[in-house]
Amino acid sequence: MLPKINDMLFITPDSAAPGDGVYKARVTEVDDKRIWFELPIQEGTARSSKFSHERLEIEYVQEEGMKHSFFAKVVGSKQDGIVMLAVPKPKAEELRKLQRRAYLRVKADLELKVHQDDEPTLEVRTIDISGGGLSFTAQQRWGMKSNQALTCTLYIPQKPAGNDYISFRGRIVRTELRTEVTELIMVEFEAIMDGDREKIIRYCFDKQIEDRKRLKG
């Protein structure tokens, strides 16, 4: 449940204003009392900070896609090739589990291409996405059915610009009528590279932070 070496931390100081980029840092060491991480870099600005005497909200996503958070202040620093900061290990009661489902799911309007044998590729937009699957709107005339296998390419935006594409095989687990001519297609990932699933999990995490900041603003 606690962060492990190489986990990515997403750090928001109390002084952050709406629209400020989140700081990111990778865990470098974990000892009996402290979690050590590299000097945090702010997304979008490349600005670093040691966060002296400031309370931080620290969030992280574990391999199963569950997001956790805790509050802490920096209690130490050292240099061993790189600058590292330390926060106390949180107690179990100080950890917050921020999502009950296996994977964090967020609303997302992303480009998705559905490849079909001997048929034109379908270009659709996602409705939501998680590390376990996604949903999109389809035309009923396409005749998609539950348990149907799909081969797809998903395009995820990368900062500061550009897209990263992810290829996967999935299976339709459910369909729901939306209008007289459209339906919602819910897809579960069946074959996807671990690194690509991690990209989706990170995207979902960043998207939720951005959405929350917009609501606060």
Alpha-carbon 116 to chain mean position: 28
Mean pLDDT of 102-127: 89
Q: Say whether pLDDT at 93 is over 50.
A: yes
Mean pLDDT of the chain: 87
| Antiparallel, parallel or unpaired: β 8-13 and 34-38 | unpaired
Q: Exposure pattern of 44-56 as b/e (b: 16+ CB <10 Å)?
A: eeeeebebeeeeb
Q: Which of 23-32, 40-49, 149-158 has the lowest mean pLDDT?
A: 40-49
Is residue 183 within 8 A of residue 143, CB to CB? The reply is no
pTM over 0.75: no
| Bridge partner list, 70 | 58
- Please state, in angstroms and rounded to a whole number, the distance separating the CA atoms of residues 99 and 130: 12
For residue 159, the model assigns a pLDDT of 67
Residue 61, H or E segment? strand 56-61
Read off the pLDDT of residues 131-183 as tens digits, 9 standing for 90 and up. Answer: 999 999 999 999 999 888 899 999 998 766 667 899 999 989 889 899 999 99
Identify the sign of the CA torsion 133, 134, 135, 138. Answer: negative
- Provide CB contacts within 8 A for 100, sequence distance 6+: none
Report the amino acid identity of residue 160: P
Phi, psi (rounded to 5 degrees) for 208: -65, -40
For residue 100, the model assigns a pLDDT of 46
Domains of the chain: residue spans and CATH? 8-97 (2.30.110.10), 106-216 (2.40.10.220)
Phi, psi (rounded to 5 degrees) for 19: 95, -15
Length of the chain: 217
